[in-house]
C-alpha cells in the first residue's frame, strides 16, 4: 500500500519534471531533435515501456514520407494517449535543420524526435530490426507489454486508429 | 485563439534566436557521426567510390568526398593514383542518398565523361549534372545539367557503347507537373534516357522510356550488344507493387517492351533505397540481382534471362537471412559471372561472393572475401579483361580494389 503511494508520488514528480522539460523543449523547439545512436533503441523501448508507443522512421528525401508526416501529426493530436516517437533514418550526413522544419510543419514538434547520429547505419538498423534494410517510411507499433507490430511503407491512419483503440486506457 | 497565435510567434522568434548555435552544433554532430573517415576531398575521406577500367587497362575512380566529386586514375591496378582532380571548384550539396554515387566512363580516346546528382533546393529536388575531361582527367569542363527540365532528377546510370557513345538513364519527376495541373495523382518518377556522341560534352534531348517507376532506387544498366542498352529498374505495378522490370532498347533512342523480372508482390508506398544490378554476359544472358520485401519472397535474389529479357528464371535466394544480406551486385566476364553482396552480424560487415562458370546455371558456395567494422559503401565489381575485382570503400580501411580469385 505504502509502496503504491510512493509510486504515485514519484509519478507526480516525474510528471512535473516532464512538464518543465516540455516547456523548456517547446521554447527551444529546434533543439528537441536528439541523436539516435548505438543503444538508443533499447533506451527508447525502456523509456516507453508500459505505454502504447508509435515509433515512426522517415527521412527528408523520401517522397512518401512527406505525405505521411502531416497525417501522423494529426494522429498525434487526436491520440494523446499514444506516445509518438519519430526517427529520421536517412543516412548521415543527415540534415538537422531540414528535419526539424519538416517535423514542425507536420505538427510533430512535441513528439519525441530523433535523428540518426551514427554513420554506421547498418548497426543502428540492426539494433532496431535485423531484417530492416533501410526502406522508409516504416512504423513500429509497440503495445504496453512490448509486442511490436511493424508497418512497412506509409501507414494507413485508419489502421493506426484501430490499433490505438485496442490499447488499454492510461490513467 | 489570439493568445495562442501570439505565443506561437513569440516562440518562432526564440527559434530564430537559437538557430545559429544550432547550426554549429549540427555541423559538429555531422563530423562526429559521419559515414566518412575524414572531411577532406581525398580518396580516404570518400563515402562513395565508383571504378571504371578503360580499354587500355587504366583504372579510373570517381568519388564523393568533402562535398565534391573527384577523379583520379591508376596505371598499376590501384597501387598508386594520379593526383585527384575535383570536377568542380566549389562544394556542392551532393545527393547523399544510399543509392546515389558519381558515375564515369572513359572512351578509347581517353575522354572522361562524368555524371552525378545534387540536391538542387531545400525540398531535396535532385539534378543530374554532367562534365567531361578531354585532357586525360587533368581538368574538367564546367558542370552542366543533363536536361533543361527543372523537375527533380536522380539516380543516373551511365554506360559506354562500343562506338564510344555515352548512354545515360535516370529517374525524373517532370511528369508530375502536368498530372498535378490536371488534378491527377502521380506516383513515382519517369525513367528517362539520353546519350552523348561527343564524349559527354552535349547530351541529346531527354526521352521517356517508362513512366511511374519507383523514385528512390539505383538503376541497373548494361549493353546487350552495340547500340542496345538494357535497363533494370524497380517499377511500380498496379496497387503500388514495387517489383523489378527490364527494358531492352532496339537502338539508343528506342526503348522496347517493359517486362517483369520477378513477381515478388512487394506492395509498399515507400522508398526502398535499394536498387537492382544487371550484367549482360558475352552469351547474351541477362543476369539480374535485386532486393525485395514482397509477399511472395523477401530478401536478396538472383535470376537470369536467356531470351533477351522476355522471361526470367525462378529467383534464387542469396545470403543468410539472419545476417541482413544487402546491396547485391553482379558482373559477367568472358569466363565467369560473379555476384557479391554485404552481410552484417551486428558488429562487422562482410562482403560475400559466389561465382558461376556456366552462365548462371550453377553457383559456387558463398565465401567471405572482405570485411570491415564500420560504415561502408556498396560492394561493386569491375573487370579488367578477364580479371574481376571487388571495388569497396570502407570508413575504417579506406578504398580497396581486390582481385577475386577462382571461387569454385
According to the model, what pLDDT value does residue A170 have?
60
> Has residue B408 got a pLDDT over 90?
no
Q: What value does the mean pLDDT take over residues B257-266?
A: 98
| Minimum-distance CB partner of A135 among B34, B36, B271 | B271
User: Do residue A14 and residue A94 come from a single domain?
Assistant: no
> Has residue B65 got a pLDDT over 60?
yes
Residue B238 CA: distances (Å) to CA of A171, B211, B235: 45, 13, 10
User: Do residue A22 and residue A88 come from a single domain?
Assistant: no
Grid cell for residue B95: 545527393
Burial readout B74-96 (b: 16 or more C-beta within 10 A, e: otherwise): beeebeebbebbbbbeeebbbbb
According to the model, what pLDDT value does residue A18 have?
39
Q: What value does the mean pLDDT take over residues B65-78?
A: 96
Q: Higher-confidence residue: B241 or A22? A: B241
Q: How many CB pairs under 8 A join A and B?
A: 133
pLDDT tens sequence across B87-117: 999 999 999 889 999 999 999 999 999 999 9
Domains and CATH numbers, chain B: 37-213 (2.120.10.10)
> Has residue A6 got a pLDDT over 70?
no
User: Do residue A47 and residue A67 come from a single domain?
Assistant: yes
Q: What value does the mean pLDDT take over residues B355-383?
A: 97
Q: What value does the mean pLDDT take over residues B258-262?
A: 98
- Cβ contact B326–A62 (<8 Å): no
Task: Identify the band that residue B406 occupies on the pLDDT scale cut at 50, 70 and 90.
Answer: low
The per-residue pLDDT of chain B, averaged, comes to 91
Residue A72 CA: distances (Å) to CA of A160, B54, B71, B96, B123: 9, 50, 44, 26, 20
User: Do residue A46 and residue A101 come from a single domain?
Assistant: yes
Domain that holds residue A137: 33-166
Task: Identify the band that residue B407 occupies on the pLDDT scale cut at 50, 70 and 90.
Answer: low
Q: How far is A133 from chain B (nearest CA, A)?
A: 7
Distance in angstroms (rounded) separating the CA atoms of residues B197 and B161: 10
Residue B252 CA: distances (Å) to CA of A7, A78, B168, B226: 73, 54, 10, 9
Q: How much of chain B exceeds pLDDT 70, in percent?
A: 91
User: Do residue A59 and residue A71 come from a single domain?
Assistant: yes
> Has residue B170 got a pLDDT over 60?
yes
Closest CA to A30 of A106, A97, A114, A115: A97
CA B237 to chain centre: 22
Q: Which helix (H) or strand (E) holds A161?
A: helix A157-166
On whether ipTM exceeds 0.90, the answer is no
Distance in angstroms (rounded) separating the CA atoms of residues B281 and B273: 26
| Residue B136, Ramachandran bin (φ over 0: left; ψ between -120 and 50: alpha; else beta) | left
| Minimum-distance CB partner of B324 among A28, A61, A131 | A131
- Cβ contact B344–A131 (<8 Å): no
Q: Does B26 touch chain A (CB under 8 A)?
A: yes
According to the model, what pLDDT value does residue B13 have?
34
Closest CA to A115 of A52, A60, A42: A60
Domain assignment present for A54: yes
- Find chain A residues with C-beta within 8 A of B347's C-beta: 123
User: Do residue A104 and residue A139 come from a single domain?
Assistant: yes
> Has residue B395 got a pLDDT over 90?
yes
According to the model, what pLDDT value does residue A94 have?
63
Chain A CA closest to residue B295: A152
A interface test, pick of B9, B22, B33, B155 with most A CB neighbours within 10 Å: B33
- Find chain B residues with C-beta within 8 A of A61's C-beta: 97, 119, 124, 216, 271
Q: Which helix (H) or strand (E) holds B50?
A: strand B48-53
Distance in angstroms (rounded) separating the CA atoms of residues B342 and B351: 5
pLDDT tens sequence across A13-70: 444 343 333 333 333 344 589 999 999 999 999 999 999 999 999 999 888 899 999 9
Q: What value does the mean pLDDT take over residues B149-176?
A: 97
Domain assignment present for A6: yes
User: Do residue A24 and residue A37 come from a single domain?
Assistant: no
According to the model, what pLDDT value does residue B380 have?
98
Q: How many separate domains does chain A show?
A: 2
According to the model, what pLDDT value does residue A19 have?
38
Q: What value does the mean pLDDT take over residues B267-282?
A: 93
Q: How far is B3 from chain A (nearest CA, A)?
A: 16
Using the Cα atoms of residue B56, residue B377, residue B297 and residue B347 in order, give the sign of their dihedral.
Answer: positive
Secondary structure, 3-state, A46-77: HHCCCCCEEEEEECCCCHHHHHHHHHHHHHHH
Interface of B with A in 159-188 (CB under 8 A): none
Domain assignment present for A40: yes
CA B224 to chain centre: 19
Burial readout A141-171 (b: 16 or more C-beta within 10 A, e: otherwise): bbbeeeeeeebbbbbeeeebeebbeebeeee
Strand partners, B192: B170, B208
A interface test, pick of B95, B98, B188, B271 with most A CB neighbours within 10 Å: B271
Secondary structure, 3-state, B293-315: ECCCCEEEEEEEECCCCCCCCCC
Domain assignment present for A171: no
User: Do residue A7 and residue A40 come from a single domain?
Assistant: no
Closest CA to B44 of B52, B35, B53: B35
Q: How far is A1 from chain B (nearest CA, A)?
A: 43
Q: What value does the mean pLDDT take over residues B335-356?
A: 97
CA B33 to chain centre: 23
According to the model, what pLDDT value does residue B396 have?
97
- The residue behind cell 542518398 is B97
Amino acid at each position: 500500500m505504502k509502496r503504491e503511494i510512493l509510486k504515485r508520488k514519484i509519478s507526480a514528480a516525474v510528471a512535473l519534471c516532464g512538464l518543465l522539460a516540455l516547456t523548456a523543449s517547446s521554447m527551444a523547439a529546434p533543439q528537441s531533435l536528439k541523436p539516435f545512436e548505438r543503444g538508443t533503441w533499447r533506451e527508447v523501448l525502456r523509456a516507453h515501456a508500459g505505454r502504447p508507443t508509435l515509433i515512426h522512421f522517415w527521412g527528408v528525401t523520401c517522397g512518401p514520407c512527406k505525405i505521411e508526416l502531416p497525417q501522423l501529426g494529426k494522429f498525434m493530436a487526436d491520440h494523446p494517449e499514444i506516445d509518438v516517437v519519430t526517427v529520421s533514418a536517412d543516412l548521415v550526413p543527415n540534415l538537422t535543420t531540414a528535419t526539424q522544419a519538416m517535423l514542425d510543419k507536420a505538427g510533430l514538434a512535441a513528439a519525441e524526435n530523433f535523428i540518426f547520429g551514427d554513420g554506421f547505419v547498418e548497426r543502428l538498423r540492426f539494433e532496431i530490426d535485423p531484417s530492416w534494410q533501410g526502406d522508409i517510411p516504416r512504423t513500429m507499433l509497440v503495445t504496453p507489454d512490448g509486442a511490436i507490430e511493424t508497418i512497412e511503407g506509409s501507414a494507413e491512419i485508419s489502421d493506426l486508429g484501430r490499433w490505438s483503440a485496442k490499447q488499454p486506457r492510461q490513467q | 485563439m489570439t493568445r495562442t497565435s501570439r505565443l506561437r510567434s513569440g516562440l518562432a522568434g526564440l527559434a530564430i534566436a537559437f538557430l545559429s548555435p544550432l547550426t554549429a552544433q549540427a555541423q559538429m554532430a555531422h563530423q562526429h557521426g559521419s559515414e566518412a573517415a575524414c572531411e577532406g576531398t581525398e580518396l580516404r575521406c570518400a563515402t562513395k567510390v565508383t571504378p571504371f577500367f578503360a580499354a587500355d587497362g587504366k583504372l579510373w575512380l570517381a568519388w564523393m568526398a568533402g562535398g565534391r566529386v573527384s577523379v583520379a586514375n591508376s596505371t598499376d591496378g590501384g597501387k598508386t593514383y594520379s593526383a585527384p582532380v575535383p570536377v568542380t571548384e566549389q562544394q556542392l550539396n551532393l545527393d547523399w542518398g544510399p543509392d546515389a554515387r558519381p558515375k564515369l566512363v572513359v572512351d578509347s580516346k581517353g575522354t572522361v565523361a562524368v555524371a552525378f546528382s545534387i540536391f538542387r533546393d531545400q525540398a531535396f529536388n535532385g539534378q543530374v549534372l554532367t562534365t567531361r575531361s578531354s585532357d586525360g582527367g587533368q581538368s574538367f569542363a564546367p558542370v552542366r545539367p543533363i536536361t533543361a527540365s527543372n523537375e527533380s532528377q536522380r539516380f543516373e546510370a551511365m554506360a559506354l557503347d562500343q562506338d564510344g557513345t555515352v548512354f545515360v538513364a535516370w529517374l525524373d519527376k517532370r511528369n508530375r507537373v502536368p498530372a498535378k495541373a490536371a488534378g491527377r495523382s502521380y506516383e513515382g518518377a519517369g525513367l528517362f534516357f539520353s546519350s552523348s556522341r561527343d564524349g559527354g560534352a552535349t547530351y541529346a534531348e531527354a526521352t521517356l522510356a517508362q513512366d511511374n517507376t519507383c523514385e528512390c532506387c539505383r538503376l541497373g544498366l548494361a549493353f546487350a550488344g552495340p547500340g542496345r542498352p538494357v535497363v533494370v529498374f524497380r517499377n511500380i505495378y498496379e496497387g503500388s507493387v514495387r517489383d523489378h522490370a527490364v527494358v531492352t532498347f532496339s537502338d539508343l533512342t528506342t526503348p522496347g517492351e517493359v517486362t517483369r523480372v520477378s513477381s515478388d508482390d512487394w506492395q509498399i508506398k515507400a522508398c526502398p533505397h535499394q536498387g537492382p544490378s544487371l550484367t549482360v554476359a558475352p552469351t547474351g544472358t541477362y543476369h539480374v540481382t535485386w532486393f525485395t520485401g514482397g509477399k511472395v519472397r523477401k530478401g536478396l535474389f538472383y535470376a537470369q534471362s536467356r531470351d533477351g529479357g522476355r522471361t526470367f528464371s525462378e529467383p534464387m535466394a542469396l545470403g543468410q537471412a539472419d545476417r541482413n544480406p544487402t546491396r547485391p551486385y553482379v558482373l559477367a566476364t568472358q569466363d565467369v559471372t560473379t555476384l557479391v553482396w554485404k552481410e552484417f552480424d551486428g558488429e562487422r560487415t562482410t562482403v560475400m561472393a559466389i561465382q558461376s562458370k556456366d552462365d548462371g546455371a550453377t553457383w559456387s558456395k558463398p565465401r567471405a572475401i572482405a570485411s570491415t567494422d564500420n560504415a561502408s559503401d556498396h560492394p561493386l565489381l569491375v573487370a579488367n579483361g578477364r580479371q574481376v575485382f571487388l571495388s569497396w570503400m570502407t570508413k575504417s580501411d579506406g578504398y580497396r580494389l581486390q582481385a577475386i580469385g577462382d571461387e569454385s
